[in-house]
Amino acid sequence: MEKEKKKLSLASQIFIALVIAIFVGLLMQNHAEIATDYIKPFGTIFLNLIKFIVVPIVLLSIMSGIVSMKDIRKVGSIGAKTVVYYLCTTAFAIVIGLIGGNLFKGFFPVLSTSELSYEAAEATPFMDVIVNIFPSNFIAPMSSASMLQVIVMALLFGFSIILVGEKAHSVAEDVDALNLVCMKCMEMILKLSPIGVFCLLCPVVAANGAAVIGSLAMVLLVAYLCYIIHMVVVYSLCVKTVGGMSPLKFFKEQMPAMIFAFSSASSVGTLPINLKGVQKMGASKEVASFVLPLGATINMDGTAIYQGVCAIFIAACYGITLTPAQMITIVLTATLASIGTAGVPGAGMVMLAMVLTSVGLPVEGIALVAGVDRIFDMGRTVVNITGDASCAIIVSHLEEKKEAKKA
Ligand code: ASP
């Protein structure tokens, strides 16, 4: 009898950990340093383990995805669909962010800007961004976790294995086997996610209690409203109409990854859970292992929304009203900025500097939102990874339909 008792699923365990973390975090508000000194390090250990496994997973899963497609044209067709979907949804996201920001602008607090200072990181020139996609060394991309370079490596090796053909058969099998080993390793690490989620979130809640959120509550609320609208409207519609899946099922299965993204604020860190989740929903392994690592690197709809809302808020604090032409510039730069944003905590705020500069807004304005960036970040990461998952479902469904037609 005892043995038949069903174990709590990982998703439920993660959810319970989230609730406990919020509760304990609120209780520890007056002792935030204890949470930061003694609880956060365990969250960091967990995040380190995830980071450790993520590079081999991206490299091997993309390679094994490509090899199993056996056809370079098929990879091209999946790649094209993926990139088009990512670009369109990101542009949509930033429009939603701008509309939300403009609609609620009247409710935003007007904070003093006279004593602001923010040291913006030096922006990388556009051509350098392109050049930096291509690795010049076999080891460096992996040791520095430069995901775009790792993706290029995986594409080159994957294509080469296909082109060599029969003679590389054993290499293809080894890649597949190594991929399975990494997935197993990831599964073991993921068993720790409830503890990881608790240890990551509790110090954030303790440190960013109600008092800190204070005057920015309205801006945060608008950003979260836009995050939710984007997910519920855009992703639901896409998943339903193009992906042939009920949005309810999609969000239910997506929940563990969403909770994890919320606590870790890292798309790349959430990649292993996302990979598992979409395959459970029925996305094919070959598509998921190509679309998701790419998405965790270049698709950031939540970040785009955040940049739209914050641009409007910062402009309002400086008493500037953005013109329609400036808003169009924001749509373009925020789409590019979100592609360049790394899937790690806080990266979106750095890229906000590029968006502000593009329309002549003072970069120091970032200091107005920097204090609560983590709270913006948790929400935008949820949107980022959910966008990736919706793409995997859609592309997988389209490929299935194509195969069925051929047959
Ligand atoms: N933390 C986000 C992510 O990992 C990126 C950002 O800061 O916007 O997706």
pLDDT at residue 190, as a whole number: 80
Mean pLDDT (the chain, rounded)? 87
Q: Which residues of 393-402 are buried (b: 16+ CB within 10 A; e: fewer)?
A: bbbbbbbeee
Residue 36 makes CB contacts below 8 A (sequence gap 6+) with: 203, 206, 207
The residue whose CA has the least distance to atom 1 of ligand 1 is 345
Closest atom of ligand 1 to CA, residue 306: 8
Report pLDDT for 1: 42
* pTM (predicted TM-score): 0.83
| Residues with C-beta less than 6 Å from any ligand 1 atom | 265-267, 300, 303, 341, 343-348, 377, 380-381, 384
- Ligand 1 atom with minimal separation from the 302 CA: 8
Measured distance CA(221)–CA(223) in Å, rounded:
5
Dump pLDDT digits (tens) for 72-97: 888 888 999 999 999 999 999 999 99
Q: What are the percentages of helix, strand and coil residues in the chain, rounded to 5?
A: 80, 0, 20
- Cα of 349 to ligand 1 centre, how many Å? 9
Q: Which atom of ligand 1 is nearest to the CA of 346?
A: 7
Query: Residue 212: what pLDDT?
Result: 57
Give me the average pLDDT of each 10-residue run along the chain (407 residues). Answer: 59 83 88 90 87 85 84 88 94 94 85 64 70 91 84 92 93 92 85 87 80 75 96 96 95 93 87 91 90 89 94 90 90 83 81 86 84 88 97 95 85
